[in-house]
Copies of this chain bind each other. A is one copy, B any other.
């Protein structure tokens, strides 16, 4: 996360692929280890940092911060800071963020089916 060297072959490969395949472009945006869980929760409405931290098992504050920053950079979520004490920050999906819903729903269904088939 965050430190992609723009001189690396890996970066170059991703760039080329993203240009040619929009599905890879999408995957690179929502492909972080915790991105999908975060988005899933946010589909139900905005949440605070601490709430996300609570409902997502095992994520560290560091990783949560990193993923939220990336999602914000990619315009998937917005970040709203309240001038209160103690601090309060709310995260919410953007319009295009909410449009991830059908993808997430389908992935969930597919995942369930795949699990089921593999358990037979």
Chain A residues near B (Cβ < 8 Å): 9-10, 12-14, 16-17, 20-27, 29-31, 33-34, 36-37, 40, 57-59, 75, 96, 99-100, 102-104, 106-115, 117-118
Contact = CB atoms under 8 A, between A and B. Distances in A.
A37 B17 contact: yes
A16 to B, nearest CB: 6
Contacts of A31: 27, 31
B96 A16 contact: no
Contacts of A12: 58
Contacts of A16: 57-58
Contacts of A13: 33, 57-59
